Amino acid sequence: MPKEDLVLLALADEQIQRLFERALAAADYRVAIASDSSALDRVLQEATPALVILSQDFSGADGVTVAAGLLERFPTLPVLLFLPQDSPEVVRKALHAGISDCLFSPLKVDDIMQAVENSIRRANRLGDWTRREVRRTTASLQQRVDELQKFDTILNHIEDGVIIVDEQMDILLINPAARRAFGIWKDESLVGKPVLEIITHPELRALVTGGLSKVSPHHEIMFEDGRALSAQYTLIPKVGAAITMQDITYLKQIDRLKNEFVSTVSHDLRSPLTAILGYVDLLERVGPINDQQREFVKRVQVSVQSITSLVNDLLELGRIEAGLDTQRELVPLEGIIRYTLENASGQIVEKRLDVAMDLPENVPPLRGNPIRLRQLLDNLVGNAIKYTPDGGKVRIEVEQQNEQVILRVEDSGPGIPPADQPHIFEKFYRASNVPKGVGGSGLGLAIVKSIVDNHRGRIWVESVVGQGTTFTVVLPLGAEQK
């Protein structure tokens, strides 16, 4: 039965060629003849030989050079080189070029067939290995393609916005949710374009370009139509950064309804509390009371005043969160700080505190509500003084960066435990290690956070238990009301 394998003979000597033809025909190989380079190329284009037998001086050219050219075009094609005589130097060159084997005169049929069979067998093994590797690589690539398609599908269908930028702040990826959030409806590719040219929202720009974003990665992005996004900026080593955004509009609405309820209840409580305090003050006018009764009256007064103060704080908080403070004017921050310290001078002296200020010259004034900004300083500096032990240190630092002012209030108090820090700006929340006897309603920092948000700023806390606490506030110089 004839073999399927085709052997291509490219030999210069006709007598040698006939010898190879007879030997191969006897072994049932198909044979093709190429008398020159053109014929060799034509056969290789029209057929797929299993082996090429090439003479050293084929068609006036060096056989090793011709074989090297063939192997460059067909790397898995086995080539046998026929030499008129044994030449170790030529054999070395031939093997270095990738030729399978060499044959020399005088030729024997058995030697020819052994060399042919060995070369084809090695080529088949190499072909099988290559096919296996191709299948394995193809399967691995297909698996990765499938995973990338799944990842692409997930990014295209999740409701959270995702933007990935490189180290030059050029867009690598932006999903449909992020496009919708910023009103980018065109289908054009944005890959490679600067993110700050595509998305001009001022709060996103502040998050991307602000050096403080590494310290405080979370930021709220507000839109004129009432939508709110919670954005997170995350650095990715050797890639750039990822900006993820979650729609928290419904949470803001729930929080607003809750605040309205608290404000309403607080307002309704104010009148009866005032009446209670008034009647308590009148008790001594209607008749004498003994010392024990007087002590009880004093405790009632203190309790009612405490509740009244709490109600007033709630009403203040509700007013701030409702955005009712429309007053905006240029406010000198240095003047407010000095006014706050002057009001607290009695406590500072009593506790023998070391208070230091680092205020640069010519800090531009802020555009904001002077009453609220003073309230912000009163709370932050007041807390630092209140929680710092006798003889401790308080430091107030102001710094200008680009179009924003950075205020830091640092104390050497007991610090805030790490578990408490994420909740420190929540209403009525107080740290678990508050010193005994230090009072408070748990609303001061909530009021501070609302004032900062109302002025389109940011605030965060850094604290180490036993070493102290630092509150950092960032306010834009041209802050406007929401």
Helix (H) or strand (E) run with residue 345 in it: helix 345-351
Locus of tokens 């912000």: 376
pLDDT for 470 equals 92
Task: Give the CATH number of domain 251-321.
Answer: 1.10.287.130
Task: Give the CATH number of domain 329-476.
Answer: 3.30.565.10
- Of 430-439, 443-452, 460-469, minimum mean pLDDT range: 430-439
Q: pLDDT-based confidence at 480, cuts 50/70/90? A: very low
First vs last C-alpha separation in the chain: 91
159-247 and 329-476 agree in CATH topology: no
The DSSP annotation for 285-344 comes to GSS---HHHHHHHHHHHHHHHHHHHHHHHHHHHHHHHTT-----EEE-HHHHHHHHHHHT
How far apart (Å, rounded) are the C-alpha atoms in residues 340 and 357? 12
Helix (H) or strand (E) run with residue 92 in it: helix 88-97
pLDDT for 395 equals 92
**Greater pLDDT, 385 or 217:** 385
pLDDT digit string (tens) for 87-143? 888 888 888 888 888 888 888 888 888 888 888 888 888 777 777 777 888 878 888
pLDDT digit string (tens) for 333-367? 888 888 888 888 888 888 898 888 888 877 788 88
- Mean predicted confidence (pLDDT) in 29-49: 86
pLDDT digit string (tens) for 411-439? 998 888 888 888 888 887 788 777 776 66
Q: pLDDT-based confidence at 409, cuts 50/70/90? A: very high
Tell me 156's DSSP state.
Answer: H
**Residue 215 pLDDT > 50, yes or no?**
no
pLDDT digit string (tens) for 261-293? 766 766 677 778 778 878 777 777 777 888 888
Phi, psi (degrees; rounded to nearest 5) at 229 = -120, 140
| Superfamily of the domain at 159-247 | PAS domain (3.30.450.20)
- Mean predicted confidence (pLDDT) in 285-311: 79
pLDDT for 479 equals 47
**Residue 148 pLDDT > 60, yes or no?**
yes
Q: Which of the residue ranges 209-213, 252-256, 264-268, 322-326 has the most confident prediction, judged by mean pLDDT? A: 252-256
Q: pLDDT-based confidence at 326, cuts 50/70/90? A: low
The highest-level CATH class for domain 6-131 is alpha beta
pLDDT for 482 equals 40
- How many other CB atoms sit within 10 Å of the CB of residue 131? 11
The phi-psi region of residue 207 (left if phi > 0; otherwise alpha if psi is between -120 and 50; otherwise beta) is alpha
pLDDT for 101 equals 86
How far apart (Å, rounded) are the C-alpha atoms in residues 57 and 63? 5
Percent of the chain having pLDDT more than 90? 2
The DSSP annotation for 347-408 comes to HHHHHT-EEEEE--TTPPPEEE-HHHHHHHHHHHHHHHHHHSPTT-EEEEEEEEETTEEEEE
Indicate the domain borders of the chain: 6-131, 159-247, 251-321, 329-476
- Mean predicted confidence (pLDDT) in 133-162: 82
**Residue 481 pLDDT > 60, yes or no?**
no
**Greater pLDDT, 477 or 327:** 477
- Mean predicted confidence (pLDDT) in 289-307: 80
**Residue 213 pLDDT > 70, yes or no?**
no
**Greater pLDDT, 447 or 185:** 447
Could you tell me whether strands 458-464 and 468-476 are parallel, antiparallel, or unpaired per DSSP bridges?
A: antiparallel
**Residue 217 pLDDT > 60, yes or no?**
no
Average pLDDT score, the chain? 82
Q: How far from 292 is each of 279, 295, 471, CA to CA, in Å?
A: 18, 5, 45
